[in-house]
Amino acid sequence: MRPVLISALLLSSGLTKASGLQVSPISLSLQARETASGLTLSNSGNNIVHAQVRVYQWSQNEKGEQLTPSRGLLASPPMIELKPGEKQLIRVIRAKAPPQGTSAVEDAYRISVDEIPIKPANQTTGLQFALSYSLPVFVQPVGMTKTRPQLQWSTHLQPDGKEITLRVSNSGNGHAQLARLSFVDTAGNSTVMNSGLLGYVLPGATMNWTLKIPPSALAAGGKFKVMMNGTQTTPNVTMDTSIR
């Protein structure tokens, strides 16, 4: 899931109108002792911006990302109006006890900030863009100042024999943010498979990605490189070239 999604609403052909909605920071982490944090929404454009803020519990299963409405975390105010140049603090409030116990893992949420497109009175033509942000929020378990992922990596040849799936499982108590994935063969040649955010793997979850590299490129061996939670790592990957 990308941190920022952009959608466009077609009013009619002609001039494009850009939105000025900005959100900072783009992710949050709450310690168990913290009951609240905050986001700042700002309007850098020339028109009034209306937006809605919603909170979802975030999980992952065999179908991928799952978002369900949640009352465990609240955002206030849920509706905003920003004039050009204005800013608004959105309070993010923890409404339930943090995770606790010897096997506790961090709670994961996503805050959705969706611009509500309103056609300006003086606009008769044009394409209006409405921004939509999806921001991760993590709540740490009691007694822990920092959680950590523990990843198991493997590649699998898809049944058609033409594509490779990268499978990453997380048995740790914290999330893994994966970005800038590349493969370096035994001759030192590097192939970039994803130059930006690949995705997240939450505690207890397994995620799969189809690699943009032919199976033959992995046959001679090599190593993967990836940015995990902001640090470049070389994971230990089990290379499985058998058809599954």
Residue 171: give its domain's CATH number. 2.60.40
Selected residue with higher pLDDT from 145 and 205: 205
Instruction: Mark whether 157 and 119 lie in a shared domain.
Output: no
Confidence of residue 120 (pLDDT cuts 50, 70, 90): low
Q: What pTM, to 2 d.p., does this model score?
A: 0.86
Q: How confident is the model at residue 125 (pLDDT cuts 50, 70, 90)?
A: low
Choice between 92 and 144, residue whose per-residue pLDDT is larger: 92
Q: Tell me the C-alpha distance between 135 and 109, whole Å.
A: 8
Reported as a pLDDT band with limits 50, 70 and 90, residue 242 is low
Q: Where are the beta strands (DSSP E) in the chain?
A: 4-10, 16-17, 21-24, 28-30, 36-43, 49-61, 64-69, 73-76, 79-82, 87-94, 107-115, 127-139, 151-157, 164-170, 176-185, 190-201, 206-210, 222-228, 231-233, 237-243
Co-location of 112 and 156 in the same domain: no
Q: Give the pLDDT score at 192.
A: 94
**Does 17 score more than 90 pLDDT?**
no
pLDDT of residue 124: 55
Dihedral over Cα of 221, 226, 231, 232: its sign? positive
- Dig out the tokens for 7 from the structure: 């959608």
Listed range (114-128, 162-176, 195-209, 219-233) with the worst mean pLDDT: 114-128
Strands 206-210 and 87-94: unpaired
pLDDT grade, residue 212 (50/70/90)? confident
Residue 144 lies in a domain: no
Cα separation, 226 vs 9, in Å, equals 35
CATH value at residue 19: 2.60.40.10
Q: Which residue has the tokens 């009619």?
A: 12
**What would the mean pLDDT of 13-29 be, rounded to a whole number?**
75
Residue 80 in domain: yes
Among candidate residues 110, 139, 168, the one where a domain is terminated = 139
Given a cut of 70, whether residue 111 has pLDDT beyond it is yes
Residue length of the chain: 244
Share of the chain above pLDDT 90, in %: 70
Q: Which SS3 state, helix, strand or coil, does residue 133 take?
A: strand
User: Domain check: are 11 and 103 in the same one?
Assistant: yes
- Residue 68 belongs to what domain range? 4-139
